[in-house]
Structure 1
Amino acid sequence: MSNQRTRFILDQLPLRGVHVALEQVWQHIVNQKDYPAPIAKALGELVAAGALLAANLKFDGTFILQVQGTGVLKLLVAEATSEQTCRGTARFDDSLTIADDASLQDLIGEQGQFVLTLQPRQGEMWQGIVGLQGNSIAQMLANYLAQSEQLDSDLILAADGERAVGMMVQRLAGQEMAREDWQYVESLLQTVNREELLATDANTLLYRLFHEQQVRVFEAENLEFACTCSHEKVGNMLLLLGGQEVGQILLEQGSVEIACDFCQQKYVFDEEDVKTLFGNDVAAAVRHELKQ
């Protein structure tokens, strides 16, 4: 399986699809933090979904999926780029006990939202914010795609500690499809259980599901983990925090240390670094304020 994304079309139905399987990439992501099993599962499914949806990107840039919650789970983030890279992370309240069988709704709490962002390297960013409709990442995304793109779409997703896998099918834009044909495709996808999805390679699974519709499978493309964090980006974040807050941290801790949520790379800014960043001595300014 490795880390591959495989596109396919059906000759006898107006459908296209994508299969993605992540092994080393997913293991690199999930091993960054000590995730409880239900949160790791949700994050893996979101990362797989991001890689699926990014296959349709028509620009040079990044596709970002976020699930925001008010329960023990605060944030899930998955990013996939037009350069075949992806990354992901989750934030949660680690002071609370999370049951191994906790559902996604249990984790999110009473209120939550889905945020989808298209961030091109050039041009304007686009962002859509919708409520969470469904009991799984797959259901939520299928509902969103049906409403926003007006296209029949269905996804199956699964993740454990070793793999994050997913498959998506969509009706081709501008082509009609009988309702019973679409329902038949949906029923085929629902025959794939979690264990089979995680254990079966793309070609085998696609043949099993769609050989009667003459599935055409294209050459797979390799995906990689890549983090876009940098000293410059962390510096920009500190500028957004403001000199007052950064100066206080300097006085309390002697330096400002930031760890990237995605890759755990640490960035340390001492007093001279901060002075250069802000163009003035923010620590001295805070020190003077405290004396006053």
Structure 2
Amino acid sequence: MNNPTPELPDQVQRFLFDATAVRGELVQLHQSYQEVLNRHDYPAPIERLLGELLAAAALLTATVKLDGTLTLEARGQGQVSLLMAECNTGLKGGDQLRAIARYQQQPEGETLQQLLGGGQLVITLDPYKGQRYQGIVALNQDNLAACLESYFASSEQLPSRLWLMADATAAGGLLLQQLPDDHHNKDADAWERINHLAATLSQDELLHLDQHEILHRLFHEETVRVFDPQPLSFGCTCSRERIADALASLGEADLREMLAEQGNITTQCHFCNTSYTFDSEALPDILKSKADGAPSGTTLH
């Protein structure tokens, strides 16, 4: 079991630079990242890439100010077939994160291209109220951060820079965005200057220093305004009801056959490894969920 840095909280910190059109988000994940890793035995390269994806999910959720669920789903054509991270907002205690990876064999290589071999990243914004939005970006860059920068350039049309890093104990990320220019921007050179300063950020600093210390080290010559941080934690949205909804999609005949052969039906959440068992007495409730028109779950819940 990896040991997180106990004195640093899992949180995302929003900040902006006064008299400029530049804003930023800074995220660090320790305990929530370890909760993901401790439920699975992933090879180190997959752990690191999954950590970057978790950090990206937290950053994007904070940036778009979503009240709902944001999902990043990287589907590859190489040794790793799936990396998925999800951030659910508005929950007790702050936003909650979960993630999963799927791979066929012990991977060779460490980079995004070596592990996924191309593919695409699907970004899904599912608000609790309103329309679902989905964007797709090719995984054709050297790293995940560069792919997401391409997404922002094409869909949000906001110049954006991302730094994503992870090791065995922590994951983190830094996002900078240049907002549309207006009369409040009194520093035309700020974007290039601030990006140059941010590029000096080391992995050890991002993952293991206090967030205010990071901002001071990088931008002590700038006027930085920080806001209240948003706490983050591991959390899974699976439940007995959602698993029953997924089973209902199999149909009554298949469910009765499985119960006759096995005595009960046991299934496991792929994210948190929680097991759910249904016996023959539970069958009416499972079928009722389908009759009531409840949405079917996916194989990942």
TM-score range, shorter chain: 0.7 to 0.9
* SS class of match (1:140): helix
1:43–1:88 Cα contact (<8 Å) kept: no
Q: Take 1:184 and 1:193, find their aligned partners in 2: how far apart are those partners?
A: 18
Change beyond 3 A, Cα 1:260–1:172? same
1:87–1:262 Cα contact (<8 Å) kept: no
Change beyond 3 A, Cα 1:123–1:261? same
Change beyond 3 A, Cα 1:154–1:179? farther
Q: Take 1:168 and 1:142, find their aligned partners in 2: how far apart are those partners?
A: 10
Q: Take 2:142 and 2:159, find their aligned partners in 1: how far apart are those partners?
A: 19
Which letter does structure 1 place at the counterpart of 2:195? E
Change beyond 3 A, Cα 1:87–1:244? farther
* SS class of match (1:268): strand
Identity between Structure 1 and Structure 2 (%): 39
Q: Take 1:137 and 1:88, find their aligned partners in 2: how far apart are those partners?
A: 18
What does the per-residue CA deviation read over 1:35-57, in whole Å, with 9 as the maximum and x for residues that have no partner? Answer: 11111111111111111111134
2:28–2:206 Cα contact (<8 Å) kept: no
Change beyond 3 A, Cα 1:58–1:219? closer
Match of 2:278 in 1: 269
Match of 2:296 in 1: none
What does the per-residue CA deviation read over 1:248-268, in whole Å, with 9 as the maximum and x for residues that have no partner? Answer: 433443322221122111111
What does the per-residue CA deviation read over 1:183-214, in whole Å, with 9 as the maximum and x for residues that have no partner? Answer: 33332222112222212221111112122221
Change beyond 3 A, Cα 1:133–1:93? closer
Which of residues 265, 268, 276 is equivalent to 1:259?
Answer: 268
Q: Take 1:149 and 1:264, find their aligned partners in 2: how far apart are those partners?
A: 36
Q: Take 1:246 and 1:172, find their aligned partners in 2: how far apart are those partners?
A: 54
Match of 2:295 in 1: none
What does the per-residue CA deviation read over 1:11-58, in whole Å, with 9 as the maximum and x for residues that have no partner? Answer: 142111111111111111111100111111111111111111111344
- Offset, 1:179: 8.3
2:161–2:175 Cα contact (<8 Å) kept: yes
1:21–1:164 Cα contact (<8 Å) kept: yes
Change beyond 3 A, Cα 1:11–1:249? same
* SS class of match (2:63): coil
Q: How many residues align?
A: 276
* SS class of match (1:192): coil
Change beyond 3 A, Cα 1:112–1:185? same
* SS class of match (2:85): strand
Which ranges in structure 2 are unaligned for 5 or more consecutive residues?
1-7, 289-301
Q: Take 1:178 and 1:72, find their aligned partners in 2: how far apart are those partners?
A: 46
What is the 5 A alignment of 1:213-252? 213-252=222-261
Tell me, yes or no, if structure 1 residue 91 matches structure 2 residue 101: yes
State the TM-score, normalized to the length of structure 2.
Answer: 0.84
What is the 5 A alignment of 1:25-174? 25-83=32-90, 84-94=94-104, 96-99=105-108, 101-109=109-117, 111-174=118-181
Tell me, yes or no, if structure 1 residue 198 matches structure 2 residue 207: yes
* SS class of match (2:192): helix
* SS class of match (1:154): strand
* SS class of match (2:237): coil
Which letter does structure 2 place at the counterpart of 1:128? G
2:27–2:55 Cα contact (<8 Å) kept: yes
What is the 5 A alignment of 1:7-18? 7-18=14-25
Which ranges in structure 1 are unaligned for 5 or more consecutive residues?
280-292
